[in-house]
Structure 1
């Protein structure tokens, strides 16, 4: 058996120019398949960690998925708002470490505007418990004197070309061309570093700012004959009456179910408390079809690569008929020729898998920072997972099957056919 393997290796080396192309085809196919699986797995983990460090998201009674869509991804509309008193009541609960209110509804150039408190930037995490950083500037003040300050996400600054000190105005509602609060401009005081999450596409202002721009509005339209200049808003009580949602962090994760039941059974106001990871995992299930389609396409790429191996070995048999005949004349049996051709194909497949995994590791090292900053996908270097080992085994098995046909064909070639080939 050792002689057959050595012969297969030497035979492959003698035809290395042709087989190197096949080798790289298998390697690229393997790298693509494993990359899709790695990105799929890590993208799911990153998606469920769009907000990490948040134990509960609280909003008006609705579906958990809808609550996460508008509270975390700032898309869609809340069924209704909740009273601001809930923030103060939950913040004083003995199990709660912090509670951050969120107010949504306005926009700027198609980007959502989020009203919150400065604690949002210190408590919120994303990915693997990564904190928010300011690429430029600082947080808005959150006081009456700094009411018209705004912090913008990385994508907002990049798309609209904003920098520190620029003036922006908010639009009422989420329509790009909706009515503007043009008489109350905001000054950009901070630009967040890229996170690859919805934070990048959000304009952040204080809760008091949301109240200030709507002092002379009612029912979604400006009050006729009423105009309150920006310099006069400080004379009014800017404490909001209601908000959209609340982010809650607990002193201990062990109390999350108890507090969730307490909030969901609150007799005062119909509220819904959801655990972000569970709700986001449920939301991800809607993308299962896309995941399966990507795996199918990458699997077809692998099959095409291994089909090229079969075609190359089969095509080479015509040129090697005399070589095989000489081996028969020297005492090699049909079984030996079958094993030699099969071993040759398996050898190329194993080398292709190994090279493909090296390409995957190099690709992760090179592209991981870009994937995290632009798409929020944290892709890590690690040993193959169970699913990846299963895919590697499937590639090896497919390579074995692809190698059996040339081996069977070599077994069929007779000694006389090799010595007197027909062209």
Structure 2
């Protein structure tokens, strides 16, 4: 076997320029397969870890996936808000332990602004029920205090004590609430969730910056300075949604039915885990399509391997015949071609795996900062090992075809090739 392996390696090296393209194509298919699989796995983990410890999310009646997207992932916008009285009635329900209202709509340099209560920082959990932690500073206490997510602070270069102004709406060209600046009092530790890309303020602050606004624009001729807003009632009139924790998990369906039957306004309550599964069923179609596309690239690469070996087989008929003449059996010729194909495949897979690791290291920070997708460099998962094994097995099986063709070549035919 060692002799055959050495011969196969030297034979492949003699044709290194021809086989280099095949190795490159196999490496590319490996890179695509591993990249899609890692992104798929990390995306699922990121989605699943975005919120935990919250039993229900309550908001205006809409689709469960839409409610989850805008309340947790800050994607899209609410079709309607829920009234503050609804929040108070929900809090008074005997099965409810706590309610954290959230209000969305404004932004800061493209990052969403979330208005909530100080209880948010102790009640909101992510991952395996991990609580939020402050990297610097403290949660907001004063009216115009702001707490930044890790990505906001890092990308915009903010530090505790700096002044920032918020924009009305989510567009980059939206008008600013320039007359009511906020002071950064805290920066959250990184979570790998949408929290990292969020500016947090108090619900009263959200009400204060909109005192002199109506229908999305400043009221003409009316301007209320920041130092005078305390003279007004800053109690929120409505919120986007509410995160709910229950006294007992057994009460989840009872509270859900109560919300569905609430008579003051149409509301709905969703279970985050169930809504995440529904969301992943939609996203899963795209990931499967990408995985199939990567698999097709792999098949094309292996077909190229077969084509290259078959194309060079006629040139090697005398070489194979000489091997037969010095005592190599037909099975040795078959093994030689199979080993050669396996070596080329193994080299391509190895290079592709290395390229995937390098791409992960280089693109990871960019994906984290741009899309909030945290990619971690870790040992290959079981699925990734399976893909690598499948590629190696497929390469070996593909090399059996030219091996079988060489097996059929007779000694006499090789020593006296037809012209």
- TM-score normalised by length of structure 2: 0.83
Aligned to 2:322: 326
**Separation of aligned partners in 1, 2:266 and 2:101:** 17
Aligned to 1:66: 66
Aligned to 1:156: 152
* Deviates further, 7-16 or 198-207: 7-16
Cα shift readout 1:63-98 (whole Å, capped 9, x = no counterpart): 112212221232433222212233333334444343
Aligned to 2:82: 82
Give the alignment partner of residue 213 of structure 1, picking from 195, 198, 209: 209
Aligned to 1:54: 54
Superposition deviation, residue 379 in structure 1: 4.7
Are 1:203 and 2:173 matched, yes or no?
no
Question: SS at 1:15's partner residue?
Answer: helix
**What are the residue-to-residue correspondences of 1:223-238 with 2, within 5 Å?**
223-238=219-234
**Separation of aligned partners in 2, 1:309 and 1:160:** 49
Superposition deviation, residue 207 in structure 1: 0.5
**Separation of aligned partners in 2, 1:240 and 1:158:** 31
**Separation of aligned partners in 1, 2:138 and 2:406:** 73
Unaligned runs of 5+ in 1: none
* Deviates further, 39-48 or 19-28: 19-28
Do 1:127 and 1:378's aligned partners in 2 also have CA atoms closer than 8 Å?
Answer: no
**Separation of aligned partners in 1, 2:319 and 2:222:** 97
**What are the residue-to-residue correspondences of 1:270-419 with 2, within 5 Å?**
270-314=266-310, 317-318=313-314, 320-330=316-326, 332-346=328-342, 349=345, 355=350, 359=354, 370=365, 373-374=368-369, 375-377=372-374, 379=376, 381=378, 384-385=381-382, 388=384, 391-392=387-388, 394-419=390-415
Question: SS at 1:113's partner residue?
Answer: strand
Are 1:178 and 2:174 matched, yes or no?
yes
Do 1:368 and 1:379's aligned partners in 2 also have CA atoms closer than 8 Å?
Answer: no
**Separation of aligned partners in 1, 2:26 and 2:381:** 18
Aligned to 1:261: 257
Question: SS at 2:114's partner residue?
Answer: strand
The alpha-carbon distance between structure 1 residues 171 and 326, as it changes in their structure 2 partners (threshold 3 A), is closer
**Separation of aligned partners in 1, 2:65 and 2:119:** 25
Aligned to 1:113: 113
Superposition deviation, residue 219 in structure 1: 4.2
The alpha-carbon distance between structure 1 residues 294 and 268, as it changes in their structure 2 partners (threshold 3 A), is same
* Deviates further, 271-280 or 232-241: 232-241
Do 2:152 and 2:197's aligned partners in 1 also have CA atoms closer than 8 Å?
Answer: yes
RMSD over aligned Cα atoms: 3.5
**Separation of aligned partners in 1, 2:242 and 2:408:** 74
- TM-score normalised by length of structure 1: 0.82
Do 2:30 and 2:352's aligned partners in 1 also have CA atoms closer than 8 Å?
Answer: yes
Aligned to 2:101: 101
Are 1:11 and 2:7 matched, yes or no?
yes
Do 1:114 and 1:202's aligned partners in 2 also have CA atoms closer than 8 Å?
Answer: yes
* Deviates further, 38-47 or 11-20: 11-20
Question: SS at 1:104's partner residue?
Answer: coil
**Separation of aligned partners in 1, 2:375 and 2:4:** 42
The alpha-carbon distance between structure 1 residues 147 and 315, as it changes in their structure 2 partners (threshold 3 A), is same
Superposition deviation, residue 306 in structure 1: 2.5
Are 1:242 and 2:235 matched, yes or no?
no
Number of paired residues? Answer: 413
**Separation of aligned partners in 2, 1:403 and 1:359:** 23
Cα shift readout 1:8-47 (whole Å, capped 9, x = no counterpart): 3232233363579566764564354134223213312322
The alpha-carbon distance between structure 1 residues 57 and 300, as it changes in their structure 2 partners (threshold 3 A), is same
Cα shift readout 1:354-388 (whole Å, capped 9, x = no counterpart): x4797489669957974895433465846744x55
**Separation of aligned partners in 2, 1:290 and 1:234:** 50
Question: SS at 2:105's partner residue?
Answer: strand
Aligned to 2:41: 41
